[in-house]
Amino acid sequence: MKLITAIIQPAKFKDVKDALAKEGITKMTVMNVSGCGQQAGYGETYRGQDIEINLLKKVMLQIGVNDKFVEPTIKAIIDGARTGNIGDGKIFVTNLEECIRIRTSERGGEAIG
Amino acid sequence: MNRTHYQKKKAGVWLALAALLLVVSPSWHGAPLYSAEATLEQRVADIEAYMNNSGRVTTAANPPVESKVAGPGPGHNAWMMTSALLVLFMTLPGLALFYGGLVRSKNILSIMAQTMGITGLVTILWWLFGYSLAFSSGSGPEGGSSFIGSFTQFAFLKGVDSMPNTDYSAWISQNVFSMFQLMFAIITPALILGAIAERMKFSAVMLFVGIWMVVVYFPMAHMVWGIDGFMNGVWNAKSSIKAIDFAGGTVVHMASGWSALVLCIILGKRTGFGKRPMAPHSLVMTMIGTGMLWVGWYGFNAGSALAADGIASTAFVNTTLAAAVAGFVWPMLEWIFIEKPTVLGFCSGIVAGLVVITPAAGFVTTGSSVFIGIAAGIVPLFAVVKLKKWLGYDDALDTFGIHAIGGTLGALLTGIFADEKVNPALSANLHELVGKTLWIEQLKAIALTIGLSAAASIIIAYAIKRVIGLRVPEIVEEQGLDIHDHGEEGYADFQIIIR
């Protein structure tokens, strides 16, 4: 079992969600986050005062998957999120120790799927 | 951002502003000559005329005596200034909040900016030549026709001072009249914003509105309200279409609504329309805007009596009843036929009621206004819920469903319910038609309004599409127009909620 964490452009979230659904992956947790990477930020102007916004708004997805879904999930996220520009985001894949469904107390791969 | 390009654009704006300042011309006012002193009887008659909102007895021409109450009448003038600010309040911030709450949070500022942009642009046009095109007499010495007024007679508001223009009222200052009418000219194009929200470029919106005012609004205002207007059945005995429109069913709601439909079809749907949720981000804001629209609408309808008289009282009452009834019927129908009575349903019903009563406000009985309110709660609801789905256009905030359908319904119902006993002005030129075939005249006015609005909007929209394009790029649509078009965010310290 792996936990896939992806940080993407908010504007591409809908495309990522659609691409994941096409691969049969419909379970996810989505968060609004802010952060910065190589992307330099952008400027806003209030009464002529330029303000540099350094921490950018991003969307973070977390998806717990069984091993055979890891590659399809990664592929779907890239398909949906990639524009080719700096700021497209990152995907982290980490090992997942255990997963428990609260309603039934099922454990492991059963509980994730 | 390319700096040199930016600076060139700025230089152009400065040049345009400088050109505006150069063309100011002084106003001129001739002093009449009088041969005699007014008698006591003439002086009393003048005060009676003020009380009854009829024409002055003593005039410079006949009899050539100087009136002791030569200026505007204080009561009527006070009500018209109040009405003008109430109508401005409908746009800023009423309509801006109403529409602003209905868009997604990333586009809230685009609505605010477009609304204020229109306010400034239309005011400048109005001062330059707009008021003249709409309200100068087309048969005067400086050109014009029954379709559009003179370009020059009142250009730069020349001669438009505190003295009344007796073509429209004996007792309100013409400069107040011109400001009152300006507020109508501002809200009309602002209504179109609802149909094209969340995807049209700011530059394209401003360009469209600038041209549309000249091609559609000024001619429409002249035809319906101008003293020698082509469709002014009430005041122009020689009008070709003897239609009536109390406060702007055709000029304001139909012209904006039908143009909005055409523009939103040419513009295309929002990306993901019908597939992704596009729920309003703040119905609280929409409700506040609705309340402001309702309050402001008293200036719009009761103010359109152009006096603080009995007709204004009638319009005041009819406005209240139609709005309240439609605002109740709409959500009740939702409750019965759809699921629950929604806040957006209450808001939509109220606005629909106000739209439909607009052309009828000072012409119909209180009973008729209740009936009109019921119709306003049913027909636009059908247009918004069913018709939009069948035809598949993306009228984002329902400008067409409420303003075009509601305005058309109102224009027709006005022809059916108009009553000479309510408004004696109907007797002067329309005695033969009222209560009989007036509705046929209304249908003619409806056809002309739809034809002009739709045809002009098609041409303007395609021309702009060719020259600068209408839409923002798709990625900007996803990010929201606020950051891209205006460099600001409506809710800078909050996360935009992903849906």
| Each residue's pLDDT tens digit, A75-109 | 999 999 999 988 899 999 999 999 999 999 999 88
- Do B287 and B377 belong together in one domain? yes
For residue A58, the enclosing domain spans: 2-112
Q: Is residue B243 part of a domain?
A: yes
Q: Is residue B17 part of a domain?
A: no
DSSP-assigned letter for residue B378: H
Which of A42, A46, A59 lies nearest to residue B498, judging by beta carbons?
A59
Sign of the C-alpha dihedral computed for residues B328, B330, B334 and B337 taken in this order: positive
- Do B293 and B441 belong together in one domain? yes
For residue B59, the enclosing domain spans: 38-70
Q: Is residue B334 part of a domain?
A: yes
User: pLDDT tens, position by position, for chain B (499 residues)?
Assistant: 344 454 555 666 665 665 555 554 444 445 555 667 888 888 999 999 999 999 888 877 767 788 888 889 999 999 999 999 999 999 999 999 999 999 999 999 999 999 999 999 999 999 999 999 999 987 778 888 999 999 999 999 999 999 999 999 999 999 999 999 999 999 999 999 999 999 999 999 999 999 999 999 999 999 999 999 999 999 999 999 999 999 999 999 999 999 999 999 999 999 988 887 788 999 999 999 999 999 999 999 999 999 999 999 999 999 999 999 999 999 999 999 998 999 999 999 999 999 999 999 999 999 999 999 999 999 999 999 999 989 999 999 999 999 999 999 999 999 999 999 999 999 989 998 998 899 999 999 999 999 999 999 999 999 999 999 999 999 899 889 998 999 888 988 776 656 5
DSSP-assigned letter for residue B64: B
The predicted structure's pLDDT at residue B3: 44
- Do B141 and B89 belong together in one domain? yes
| A75 CB within 8 Å of a chain B CB | no
- Do B346 and B412 belong together in one domain? yes
- Do B168 and B191 belong together in one domain? yes
* DSSP H or E run through A93: strand A89-95
Amino acid at B268: G
- Do B278 and B379 belong together in one domain? yes
Give this complex's ipTM. 0.73
Q: Is residue B367 part of a domain?
A: yes
Return the half-sphere exposure (C-beta side, CA atoms, 13 A cut-off) of residue B248. Answer: 32
User: Rounded CA gap, B201 and B341, in Å?
Assistant: 35
User: Rounded CA gap, A58 and A35, in Å?
Assistant: 7
Number of domains in chain A: 1
- Do B325 and B300 belong together in one domain? yes
The predicted structure's pLDDT at residue A87: 86
Those residues whose C-beta lies under 8 Å from the C-beta of residue B345, and which sit 6 or more positions away, are B330, B331, B334
Residues of B in contact with A11 (CB under 8 A): 475, 478-479
Residues of B in contact with A46 (CB under 8 A): 488
Q: Which residue has the tokens 């329902």?
A: B398
SS3 content of chain B, % helix, strand, coil (to 5): 65, 0, 35
- Kindly report the CATH number assigned to the domain that includes residue B338: 1.10.3430.10
Which of B488, B489, B498 lies nearest to residue A10, judging by beta carbons?
B498
The predicted structure's pLDDT at residue B125: 98
* Chain mean pLDDT for chain A: 89
Residues constituting chain A: 113
- Do B283 and B136 belong together in one domain? yes
**Angstrom distances, CA of residue B95 to CA of B179, B282, B486:** 19, 14, 20
Question: Taking a C-beta distance cutoff of 8 angstroms, is the pair B72, B169 a contact?
Answer: no
- Do B123 and B170 belong together in one domain? yes
Q: Is residue B495 part of a domain?
A: no
User: Rounded CA gap, B418 and B439, in Å?
Assistant: 9
- Strands A89-95 vs A42-46: parallel, antiparallel or unpaired: unpaired
Sign of the C-alpha dihedral computed for residues B435, B428, B183 and B229 taken in this order: positive
Question: Taking a C-beta distance cutoff of 8 angstroms, is the pair B371, B325 a contact?
Answer: no
Q: Which residue of A has its CA nearest to B276?
A: A14
Q: Is residue B263 part of a domain?
A: yes
Structure tokens at B435: 């209560």
- Residues of B within an 8 Å Cβ radius of A: 272, 276, 475, 478-479, 483, 487-489, 492, 495-498
Q: Between chains, do A57 and B487 touch, taking CB under 8 Å as contact?
A: no
Confidence of residue A112 (pLDDT cuts 50, 70, 90): confident
How many contacts (CB atoms, under 8 Å) link A and B?
32
Q: Which residue has the tokens 């021309």?
A: B463
Number of domains in chain B: 2
User: Rounded CA gap, B123 and B178, in Å?
Assistant: 11
DSSP-assigned letter for residue B278: -
- Do B178 and B130 belong together in one domain? yes
The predicted structure's pLDDT at residue B37: 81
- Do B160 and B274 belong together in one domain? yes
User: Rounded CA gap, A110 and A99, in Å?
Assistant: 9
Q: Is residue B269 part of a domain?
A: yes
The predicted structure's pLDDT at residue B218: 97
Query: How many helices (H) does chain B have, and how many strands (E)?
Result: 21, 0
Q: Is residue B131 part of a domain?
A: yes
- Kindly report the CATH number assigned to the domain that includes residue A74: 3.30.70.120
- Do B49 and B148 belong together in one domain? no
Which of B479, B488, B489 lies nearest to residue A11, judging by beta carbons?
B479
| Stated pTM of the model | 0.88
Number of Cβ atoms within 10 Å of the Cβ of B442? 30
Intra-chain end-to-end CA distance of chain B, in Å? 31
User: Rounded CA gap, B226 and B230, in Å?
Assistant: 8
Q: Between chains, do A30 and B475 touch, taking CB under 8 Å as contact?
A: no
Q: What is the dihedral of CA B293, B213, B242, B371, to 10 degrees?
A: -20
User: Rounded CA gap, B471 and B473, in Å?
Assistant: 6
Question: Taking a C-beta distance cutoff of 8 angstroms, is the pair B150, B140 a contact?
Answer: yes
Which of B54, B70, B86 delimits the end of a domain?
Answer: B70
User: Rounded CA gap, B244 and B205, in Å?
Assistant: 31
Chain B nearest-CA distance from A59, in A, is 8
